[in-house]
Chains A and B, each alone.
Chain A
Amino acid sequence: NAGVTQTPKFQVLKTGQSMTLQCAQDMNHEYMSWYRQDPGMGLRLIHYSVGAGITDQGEVPNGYNVSRSTTEDFPLRLLSAAPSQTSVYFCASSYSLAGGPGTGELFFGEGSRLTVL
């Protein structure tokens, strides 16, 4: 099993450009999410999905779009990149909602480092 795979690992954009960060998981997880990690801020939830066709906003959704057409894939789109979106982005998945002991573990990808000039 590959687990959670993110591409690209590194990307440099100019202000105003758009791009898509790809995320795929092969564990048949219902739940998928995107976080951004900034120094001193920890991981902050951008968007999440509890199943194909269902998405919802997290703590910092502005400037990002998501869709979930399949169980496996959960791409994150930056519509018009801004320097404030310079960050490390992590995709994570888990079996289900945190409904009981042992179900809350998030499996993370290795991250995508984005720089917006």
Chain B
Amino acid sequence: QKEVEQDPGPLSVPEGAIVSLNCTYSNSAFQYFMWYRQYSRKGPELLMYTYSSGNKEDGRFTAQVDKSSKYISLFIRDSQPSDSATYLCAMSPSVRHDMRFGAGTRLTVKP
């Protein structure tokens, strides 16, 4: 079993839809939870960063962490074609930078 599980999709939605992306994990030591966005043939870029449990909102993006269920989510409101990318969840323990990534979910937002 992988430490971090993420449905690779692909996921296709119409413009304006609400998108929900999810990851589950098995290592209870993870404290830092991140979402990276990766456009085709580019390196990943940090989108959202959350420490421990709770919600964090940034514009159209909301990240949620439920440590009791070992489950994290990323919501995208009013999705745009420019949101079309692969979204990777990532998490790490509190001390080392041993970050574990999910496989990534490929999202396409159709105009």
Chain B interface extent, by class: 20 to 34
Q: Please, how many angstroms separate the alpha-carbon atoms of A108 and B94 in the complex?
A: 21
B: which residues have CB within 8 A of A? 4, 6, 8, 32, 34, 36, 41-46, 49, 51, 88, 90, 92-99, 101-104
A: which residues have CB within 8 A of B? 4, 31, 33, 35, 40-45, 48, 50, 58, 90, 92, 94, 97-99, 101-102, 104-106, 108-111
Q: Are A45 and B99 in contact (CB under 8 A)?
A: yes
| A and B contact pairs by CB, cutoff 8 A, 23 listed | A4-B43, A35-B101, A42-B6, A42-B88, A42-B101, A43-B44, A44-B101, A45-B98, A48-B97, A90-B43, A97-B95, A98-B32, A98-B93, A99-B95, A101-B51, A104-B92, A104-B97, A106-B36, A106-B44, A110-B41, A110-B42, A111-B41, A111-B42
